[in-house]
Amino acid sequence: MNYRHAYHAGNFADVVKHIILTRLVLYLQRKEQAFRVIDTHAGIGRYDLKGVEAGKTNEWQNGIGRLLEAKFDPDVAALLSPYLDIVRSENTDGAMRHYPGSPLIVRHLLRRQDRLSALELHPRDAEQLGDLFAGDVQVRVIELDGWLAMGAHLPPKEKRGLVLVDPPFEVAGEFDRLVDSLAKAHKRFSGGTFALWYPVKDRQEVRRFAEALRDTGIPKILRTELMIRAPSAEPRLDGTGMIIVNPPFTLEAELRILFPALSKILTEEKNAGFTVDWVRGEQVDA
Ligand code: SAM
C-alpha cells in the first residue's frame, strides 16, 4: 500500500469525481427518507495543499486551483456551486489551503437522518480519518479492506444510498476486481447507486473494462470520461473515468451541461474531449 492520495488531492481527477459525487448525494436528498453513503476507499478526508506531498506535485493547481478562478455560465455555475461552496467552506480565510476528500464532502451533504460509512485500509490514514470524525454519530470510520464492504455491508439498513468505490489502482487486476465486486454488490443491493472511479491510462484496458461491465447484464450503467490529453504511448493519467450504476435520471443531462465547461477549464491539450454515454441502458438483453 504505497499509494498516498495527498500527492494528488484536488487534481483534475479529484475535482471531476467530487463534482459527480456531490450531484449524486444532492439527488438522494430529494426524498425525506434516510440514505447511507458507503465510501469504500475513503482516504484521510482533508488534505493540506501546503503540505509536503501536495507541494511536491502541485497537481491541485491545475484542478481545483483552475476551477476556483474560472468564470462559468449561469447554468454551469448553478450545478457547480454546491461543490465549490463545500470547498470554500473548508477555506474560510479566502486562501486555498485545505481540500476536502470524498468522506468530508459527503459529510457536508448529510441531513440529520443520513449516515456515512467510510472504510480505509491504511492504518495511519484510517486513524487520521477517525480523528476527523471523532464524536460524529452520523459517520462510522472503519479500518478495513473496502472491497469487503461490497459484500457484507450491503444492503445498508436504510435501503437507499450510494456506494463510492475509489481504489488506488496501484496493483494489476483492479479493473477486474471492480467488475467482480460490482456484480456481487449489485445482487445484494440492486436498487443502490454505485459510483466507480477509474483512471484513463491504457485505452485498451478501459475498453475491456466497459465490455466486462456490459457482460454483467446489469442495467443502467452510465459511463463518464473527461480527458485532459490525447492518448499517449507512455502510461500516464490522460483522463478520469467514472461509472455510475443506477444514476439519478437527472445526472446525464447535468453532465452534458457540466462536462463541456469542465473540459475547457481542466484540459492540458486542445480537443482532448469527454464522453457521457451508456455502457448499458434500461433494457437487459435476453
Ligand atoms: N476517495 C478518496 C477521495 O476521493 O478523497 C480518495 C481515495 S484514494 C484514491 C484511495 C485510498 O484507498 C487510499 O487512501 C488508500 O490508502 C486506500 N486503500 C488502498 N487499498 C484499500 C483497500 N483494500 N480498502 C480500503 N482502502 C484502501
Q: What is residue 221's predicted lDDT score, i.e. its pLDDT?
A: 98
Per-residue pLDDT tens over the stretch 247-264: 999 999 999 999 999 999
112 pLDDT higher than 70: yes
Please work out whether the CB of residue 253 comes within 6 Å of at least one atom of ligand 1. no
**Rounded alpha-carbon distances, angstroms, from residue 224 to 109, 206, 221:** 23, 12, 10
Q: What is residue 284's predicted lDDT score, i.e. its pLDDT?
A: 53
Q: Kindly list the domain boundaries of the chain, sorted by start residue.
A: 5-280
Per-residue pLDDT tens over the stretch 44-97: 999 999 999 998 899 999 999 999 999 999 999 999 999 999 999 999 988 899
**Measured between alpha carbons, how far is 100 from 102 in angstroms, rounded to an integer?**
7
Supply the DSSP symbol for 202: -
Looking at the chain, which runs of residues are DSSP E strands?
Answer: 36-39, 46-48, 98-100, 115-120, 139-143, 161-165, 193-200, 221-227, 239-245, 274-280
Beta bridge partner(s), residue 198: 241
Nine-digit cell string for 181:
465486486
CB atoms closer than 10 angstroms to residue 145: 13
Nine-digit cell string for 204:
485498451
Residue 145 assigned as binding residue: yes
Query: Cα 166 to chain center, whole Å?
Result: 6
Reported as a pLDDT band with limits 50, 70 and 90, residue 286 is: very low
Please work out whether the CB of residue 5 comes within 6 Å of at least one atom of ligand 1. yes
Question: Across residues 31-44, what is the average pLDDT?
Answer: 98
Helix, strand, or coil (residue 17): helix
**Measured between alpha carbons, how far is 127 from 150 in angstroms, rounded to an integer?**
22
Please work out whether the CB of residue 122 comes within 6 Å of at least one atom of ligand 1. yes
For ligand 1, mutation pick of 90, 106, 121 (most atoms within 8 Å of CB): 121
Supply the DSSP symbol for 270: T
For 5-280, which CATH class?
alpha beta
ipTM computed for the complex: 0.99
pLDDT higher for 194 or 2? 194
Question: Across residues 160-186, what is the average pLDDT?
Answer: 96
**Measured between alpha carbons, how far is 184 from 151 in angstroms, rounded to an integer?**
7
Q: What is residue 2's predicted lDDT score, i.e. its pLDDT?
A: 83
Question: Across residues 203-223, what is the average pLDDT?
Answer: 96
**Measured between alpha carbons, how far is 242 from 276 in angstroms, rounded to an integer?**
10
Active site residues: 166
For ligand 1, mutation pick of 25, 41, 83 (most atoms within 8 Å of CB): 41
